[in-house]
Amino acid sequence: MVFSKRSLEGCLTIDHKAGDGMPLDIAHQSGAMPVGRGMTFESATITCSHCGCVVIMNPDRSRSRGYCPKCDHYVCDQCEGIRVASGGECKTLKQVMDELEASVLKKSALII
């Protein structure tokens, strides 16, 4: 079986076919997803491996999606900017959490 990054995607579905939905003008003002009465929106999602935020994939996006070749995952636009500015540094959320856990365990061992 061949691995595909698409296998890491999730799916967001907003279904207002049976409900009032959100008025489109209010959705635009608040930054919410503009899905009005009787409408359905469905899109793929990815989770940024560097910060953990969930990104709704815009099917109309024309520029390339941020990608980190070191951890072989897509990253959000903000983390892509940081990664490029730092010369390609890769620090995944899992690595940050592991370092934090090790630091806490080390400090707790000093207290005992």
Q: Which residue has the tokens 């900017």?
A: 81
Which one, of 62, 63, 61, 68, lies nearest residue 86 by Cα?
68
In whole angstroms, give the CA distance from residue 58 to residue 17.
21
Exposed/middle/buried for 49, CB within 10 Å: 0-12, 13-18, 19+? buried
Locate the domains of the chain by residue range: 9-111
Enumerate residues 6+ apart whose C-beta is below 8 A from 92. Answer: 49, 50, 71, 73
Per-residue pLDDT tens over the stretch 22-37 = 777 787 787 777 777 7
Per-residue pLDDT tens over the stretch 52-103 = 999 988 878 888 889 999 998 999 999 999 999 999 889 899 999 999 999 8
